[in-house]
Amino acid sequence: MKLRKITTIVDEVLMEGGKGVDPVARTAVVAAIIENPWKDQGFVDDLGPGIDDIAPQLGELLAPRVMEALGTPLEAYGKAAIVGLNGEIEHGSGLIHTLKFGNYFRDAADASTLLPAVEKRGPAGIVFDIPLKHFTDATIRSHHQSFEVRIPDAPHADEILVALAGASQGRPQQRLADLSTEQ
Amino acid sequence: MAKIAKTLDEISVRTIRTVVEEVHSEGGSAASSPRKIAASYAVLKNPWLHEGTAASLTDFAAYAAPILAQEITSRLLEHLGDANDVEAFGKAAVVGLNGEIEHGGAFIHTPFFGNIFREILGGTSIICFSESRAEPSDSLRVPLWHKTEAATRDYYQSLEIQLPDAPHADEIVVMGLASDGPRPHPRIGDRATDPTVTLDIFQGE
């Protein structure tokens, strides 16, 4: 894996809607910017070998870092793959939509649900929003949230940006009726 | 001593965001060691709206800036190590559209911020800076230079920071930055190695 840089973002929300948030709502994102492993290879039919090689390395790199950056028990999580302009979205999807990537995060967070994801292709500095859902029950409405990220200068055309996101709680000031009340 | 704020609640801070970039490779070559550069910023209510341009800004700056400097540096050091690991620093303010850039300057260009920031990070240099007034979700590129030898060219560097959802029109962003080293592959010389360059160079061949 050819790694160019790792960007970590930690967000702390102390107030929302004019009222204090207690405890402070924390969200952490860690993104790795790597060279696209299928760079200059044309259309590759079988992405399996590249996935088997790279996805576990990314999971092993990012999962402990996002837990450390969050610094509190995790309650919601998500992931992202942003492919540079010379690649296919399928390349990014290949790296994140595999248990060989996601299980590192699930194990580190004691989580059980599927990780919601954003996948897109774009120029360096593109804005993307990572969806997050509850870490053991994806139907828990209070934890549906998303986190805006823009990493200047990434991904370059031959790169892929892969990120994990974790949150300490649901939305600050969440107060919507639970899904069960509408059934 | 004058009363100062001891918590961020007392100065209406809405959010704090910390961004750390760790450069492993640049220009196709590995950095000698992963280079870390970090920014941390607080988003707080502008206390001086509707007061006009004659109002003094000193009292609230003296009250609020020290805790901002302390909370921002503590987050930078969480990611960079201790003050000995910090080699370069910078600062910035972004004022929401209802304020004056002078309001941002009151927070970052006074000793109530700068001296605390320098003392915690073990610096002596003037702190280089950027400032602007902007809509939320703009970005800002902020310069850093060496914390004790400001003219050391290898340490001239900058970081672009995205500001999602901040500052609102009645808010101010106050930011501090630090890095643990020079640029990844510095090779543009220094004052000690520069030739003499004056307008006379146009007189040659």
CATH number at residue A39: 3.30.1330.110
Tell me the pLDDT band of A178, cut-offs 50, 70 and 90: confident
* B40 in a structural domain: yes
pLDDT one-digit tens code per residue, A99-133 = 999 999 999 999 999 999 999 999 999 999 999 99
* B139 in a structural domain: yes
Put simply, the answer to whether A14 touches B15 (Cβ < 8 Å) is yes
What does the DSSP assignment read for A8-22?
EEEEEEEEETTEEEE
Provide, as residue numbers in chain A, all residues whose Cβ is less than 8 Å from the Cβ of B164: 148-150
Q: What is the 3-state secondary structure (H, E, C) of B125-179?
A: CCCEEEEEECCCCCEEEEEEEECCCCCCHHHCEEEEEECCCCCCCCEEEEEEEEE
Give residue A2's pLDDT: 97
Structural domain tally of chain B?
1
Give residue B32's pLDDT: 80
Put simply, the answer to whether B9 touches A14 (Cβ < 8 Å) is yes
Tell me the pLDDT band of A97, cut-offs 50, 70 and 90: very high
* B1 in a structural domain: no
Interface residue B14 vs chain A (CB under 8 A): yes
Q: Is the pLDDT of residue A60 over 90?
A: yes
Residue span of the structural domain in which B170 resides: 8-203
Q: List Cβ neighbours of B113 (8 Å cut-off, separation of 6 or more).
A: B61, B65, B66, B68, B69, B91, B107, B174
* B3 in a structural domain: no
Q: What is the predicted ipTM?
A: 0.95
Residue span of the structural domain in which A93 resides: 3-182
Neighbour-count burial of B13, counting CB atoms closer than 10 A to its CB (0-12 exposed, 13-18 middle, 19+ buried): buried
- Backbone phi and psi for residue B57, each to the nearest 5 degrees, phi listed first: -105, -5
Structural domain tally of chain A?
1
Q: Which one, of A97, A71, A59, A75, lies nearest residue A145 by Cα?
A: A75
Q: Which residue in the set B12, B18, B22 is minimally distant from A6, CB to CB? A: B22
Half-sphere exposure (Cβ direction) of A42: Cα atoms closer than 13 Å: 1
**d(Cα B44, Cα A28) in Å, to the nearest integer?**
21
Report chain B's mean pLDDT, rounded to a whole number: 96
Report chain A's mean pLDDT, rounded to a whole number: 97
Q: Which residue has the tokens 């949150």?
A: A167
For residues B132-155, average pLDDT: 97
The count of other CB atoms within 10 Å of the CB of residue A139 is 12
**d(Cα A147, Cα A78) in Å, to the nearest integer?**
9
CATH at residue B13: 3.30.1330.110
Distance of CA B126 to the CA centre of its chain: 11
Neighbour-count burial of B124, counting CB atoms closer than 10 A to its CB (0-12 exposed, 13-18 middle, 19+ buried): exposed
Query: What is the least distance, in Å, from the CA of A137 to any CA of chain B?
Result: 28
pLDDT one-digit tens code per residue, B166-187 = 999 999 999 999 999 999 999 9
Tell me the pLDDT band of B34, cut-offs 50, 70 and 90: confident
Interface residue B149 vs chain A (CB under 8 A): no
**d(Cα A57, Cα A44) in Å, to the nearest integer?**
21
* B102 in a structural domain: yes
Q: Is the pLDDT of residue A79 over 80?
A: yes
Put simply, the answer to whether B16 touches A11 (Cβ < 8 Å) is yes
Q: Is A162 helix (H, G, I), strand (E, B) or coil?
A: strand
Percent pLDDT > 90 in chain A is 96
Give residue A181's pLDDT: 87
Provide, as residue numbers in chain A, all residues whose Cβ is less than 8 Å from the Cβ of B139: 150, 152
* B116 in a structural domain: yes
Q: Is A80 helix (H, G, I), strand (E, B) or coil?
A: strand
- Please, which residues bridge with residue A100 across strands? none
**d(Cα A37, Cα A50) in Å, to the nearest integer?**
7
* B96 in a structural domain: yes
Q: List Cβ neighbours of A131 (8 Å cut-off, separation of 6 or more).
A: A78, A116, A117, A118, A144, A145, A146
For residues B10-25, average pLDDT: 97
* B68 in a structural domain: yes
Provide, as residue numbers in chain A, all residues whose Cβ is less than 8 Å from the Cβ of B142: none
Touching B: A residues 104-133, CB under 8 Å: 127
Touching B: A residues 60-89, CB under 8 Å: none
